[in-house]
Amino acid sequence: RLRLHDGKLIKDRRYHLRTYPNCFVAKELTDWLIDHKEAPDRETGIRLMQKLMDHYIIHHVCDEHSDYKDAKLLYRFRKDDGTFPLNKDVKVFMRGQSLYEKLVSVEESILKVREENSVKYQRTFLGCEMIDWLIQEGEAENRKEAVELGRALLEHGIIQHVSNRHHFFDSNILYQFWINFRRRRRLTELLNENSSCALSESPDSPFCLRKLNPDPGNTSFLSVQTNKEIKIVSAVRRSSITSLTGNSNPYFSTTPTLVFPPVAECNPKSVLKRPVTNEELLSPGAPYIKKTLTIVGDAVGWGFVVRGGRPCHIQAVDPGGPAAAAGMKVCQFVFSVNGMYVLHLDYQTISSLIMTGPRTLVMEVMEAIE
């Protein structure tokens, strides 16, 4: 919406002797979506805009059309005419986003690296600390109101206890934000929100942290192996962290759903020549060296595939992605993620740590000495 305002696509328009403020022409918007690579074709653009209509984000200026037509018809964002329905879910989400931006933008933030049960967690805060901050910043009048706000944020999946064992309390319990509000999302993610399927339980299932091409017809990228062979590795999009599946937890799920394109159901052969155990990696004099990689994610992820488990290894690296630029290679073993030791974890847990962490990813990997 803001980009359309900046581009002057949203403006006052006159039709049949009447002026309609802050509206856009559907056909022009479809052109804009394609030109700015938000949609690969007109059909996808129409489906995207229909999603926005279904979610009461845009509407026809006279409400004469319940569907989005790629024609010279005028539509408007409900936020521009005051008809956007601010229900409780939307209000809590927007409040959480506002608090997150406020916290990460200050120098002496309460979001810090902390440890619980010998495990380090990034950007965490204590419950009592958050309450003090909310009152200090005028976000809540008293501790009771601050606790209620914290509980609402937790129940809506915006914050969580680091190991998901507690609700929100005014205490020294450790929490962190569950949603990375600063991850740039593409409109095409809307089309996949209801088409996800569960991850395979097999530790050999591939997990791709970056989709090379936004075109849904091309859902793979090249994996360059040490023997110079080229293989096609199925790609899996990162889903929105707000896409949560139900489980036995009374508050919310800790398992983000991953959106698989149809080709992702195959399991490419491991790039490892033979299985490697943790004991072998960590034994004195083992022919492995440890490297620290700092990877700054782009709009679609970090650009690598994690596979296997205990230990996990790098199955594929997008040659043009952030991970390759940071020095990541196939066959490296994942030692730590953002300061957390992960050799004993499977790929599903590691992928969750990466997706819920900051955009700048710090990984330690172990590489075989040539």
pLDDT tens for 36-90 read 989 999 999 999 999 999 888 999 999 988 899 999 999 999 988 888 877 788 8
pLDDT tens for 90-135 read 888 889 988 998 898 888 899 999 988 888 888 899 999 999 999 9
pTM of the model: 0.44
pLDDT score for 171: 93
3-state secondary structure of 95: helix
Check pLDDT > 90 for residue 32. yes
pLDDT score for 25: 96
Q: Which residues contact 93 (CB under 8 A, 6 or more apart)?
A: 156, 158, 242
Check pLDDT > 50 for residue 262. no
Check pLDDT > 80 for residue 258. no
Q: Higher model confidence: residue 288 or residue 262?
A: 288
For the chain, give the percent of residues with pLDDT over 90. Answer: 38
Whole-number Å distance between alpha carbons of 246 and 337: 26
pLDDT score for 194: 52
For residue 309, the cross-strand partners are 346
Instruction: Kindly indicate the confidence band of residue 202, based on its pLDDT and cuts at 50, 70 and 90.
Output: very low
Q: Is the dihedral of CA 45, 49, 50, 54 positive or negative?
A: positive
